[in-house]
Structure formats: C-alpha cells, structure tokens
C-alpha cells in the first residue's frame, strides 16, 4: 500500500506522540506547536497548508488518545 504524504505525516505524529516524553501533556498549546515544528522539520515547511497541518495534527492526536 502506498501512503500519501499526508498519511505519512499522520503516522509520524502518532510515532512522535508514542515515543517522546516531550509530548506527554497534550492539553498544552505549546506541545501542539512543537509537534507542528517537528512535522515541518521532517516533511518541509511548505509541504502542507495551514489547514492540512491542523488536520494532520488533529488526526494524529485523536488516534493517539483513542489507542493510548
């Protein structure tokens, strides 16, 4: 199965949340900003629009909260 770049970014968000203590407090707005910066560092700052980035973060955080 071939994943789109957006799906890969969602998987990256989920991986980061699972494996980094830095993201333990998902209620902190700063956590979301750091997570966005990490996605941009891996996928590039121009790859996703603002709305796409928010969808990626929302999906990754929701998947993490549902499973962990």
Tens digit of pLDDT for each residue in 6-63? 999 999 999 999 888 877 776 677 888 999 999 999 999 999 999 999 999 999 989 9
Instruction: Please answer whether residues 39 and 12 qualify as being in contact, where contact means their C-beta atoms are separated by less than 8 angstroms.
Output: yes
Query: Angle 21-19-28 (CA atoms, 0-180°, nearest 5)?
Result: 40
Residue spans per domain, the chain: 5-67
Q: What's the predicted TM-score (pTM) here?
A: 0.85
């Amino acid at each position: 199965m071939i994943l789109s770049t957006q799906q890969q970014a969602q998987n990256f968000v989920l991986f980061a949340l699972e494996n980094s203590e830095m993201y333990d407090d998902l209620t902190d707005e700063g956590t979301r900003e750091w997570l966005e910066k990490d996605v941009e560092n891996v996928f590039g700052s121009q790859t996703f629009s603002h709305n796409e980035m928010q969808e990626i973060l929302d999906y990754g955080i929701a998947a993490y909260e549902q499973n962990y």
